[in-house]
Structure 1
């Protein structure tokens, strides 16, 4: 079954400002991509960048003495000339992906990650909304509803922060 790579890349950009195309493909598939899969994803990245919603660049890299170039997709506001910043941004998701998973938390963690992705998508869409085209009365109602939703998200953020500070009991050596 063929994968539609544009939504995969869009979701990756919703989570972070800079994405290595091959890394996004590997993450989505959960394995190393085949050559046709990576080629299709690269073509999708070029089409995505052609819309003006993202930028593309090739970032020179080296591993174990082997030089290669990483195709990088970035949000339009990212400075592609700052190579060091791009490398740090590409390394950040790898650190983020190493979240600890305790017993019984896999489904809850997956739901939380999905919720965060949805909120990121909504935030990006909100930035593009032509608010000046709304009727003032409608804008007022939407603002009230949004204030309530944002308060709920703030409560969730506080709960997550509180949970992150809790210490899990460690087993004592016998």
Structure 2
């Protein structure tokens, strides 16, 4: 049962012989009623304060929830961006590796072609040297035979001169 300040002030007690002094009881009732009024006012103010604080707490909870949601979505975006960057980096690395392997393969192919060209040139040189030697030997034989022919011709000419003189 709740008693208000007015209830306390309007409360009347029955009087008896040997009972309390009515003035003292009325005075005490007034003091108690006054204190009850102050307490009721404080209670009302405290209830308002509690409601404001609850509203603030609710607002802070809402902000906290919003911040958590923001942090979670930011973390998800960071993770997505990071994953995308890692995938892109891997693609770039794979492409670079593939190009490098292609370039190395081209280098090997070119080197093999150069070795083959060198071997062909060596064979051609060898054949050319053989042909040149053969040609030189042929020319030497021709020159030798011309020398022989020239000496025979000289010999014949001198014999002819001798025979002409002898005639």
TM-score (norm 2): 0.23
Highest Rg: 1 or 2?
2
- Which has more helix, going by share of residues? 2
